[in-house]
Amino acid sequence: MFFAVEFLGVLAGALSGGLSAIRDMRYKYDLIGVFGLAFVTALGGGITRDVILQHGPPLAFEDPRYIVIAIFGAGVAAMFERHMGPGMDRAIDFIDAAALGFFAIAGTTRALNDGLTVLPSILLGLVTAVGGGLLRDVLGARAPKVFERGQFYAIAALAGSAVFLLAVQIGVGRASATVAGTLSCFLLRLLSIRFNWRTRPLRPSTD
């Protein structure tokens, strides 16, 4: 179950990272740039999580399926080079929300499987969910959106991990708990975009 969710996250992450690079109007990324940002988005969070866990090399370096799936996702994204528009923007939001949900639950599951308790498991779920997007934003010379005022991103990942862990704690099967946690994160992210639910900045605007 862990690998199924993780691989779906890698695929969605590669699509999201590649499409975001193509959509970026400030820089004209070539094929290497698109594939590079797709790889970082797809694999960055999981590699960071595995480094923190310190159980040998990250899974993405041990299991070739990770890289194969990331290449496939980046390749599919590159095919849409000439099809950027409002509809594609909505598609990227949808794919990004799916990647966030998959990665949040994959990270939390990995932590549970390694014997970690609830709070560290939620934290690793968050790291896995937002790590790739954070690295993508840094490499794209943008402030990471996870740190800025905006629609729910880290909050959605935290909610998904919490729902998953709660379901596991009350005896729900792992498969059902995975579906519940993933959908919770995915729907909360999309709803925040649809209704423009935004976090509040700690320093009031002076504009």
Which pTM value belongs to this model? 0.91
Gap between the Cα atoms of 198 and 149, Å rounded:
7
Read off the amino acid at residue 136. Answer: R
Range with the largest mean pLDDT of 16-20, 85-89, 143-147: 16-20
117, with CB counted inside 10 A (0-12, 13-18, 19+), is: exposed
Share of the chain above pLDDT 70, in %: 96
Residues 164/105/162/202 CA torsion (nearest 10 deg): -160
Beta bridge partners of 8: none
Gap between the Cα atoms of 185 and 100, Å rounded:
7
| Interacting residues of 61 by C-beta distance below 8 A, sequence separation 6+ | 47
- How sure is the predictor about 10, in pLDDT bands with cuts at 50, 70 and 90? very high
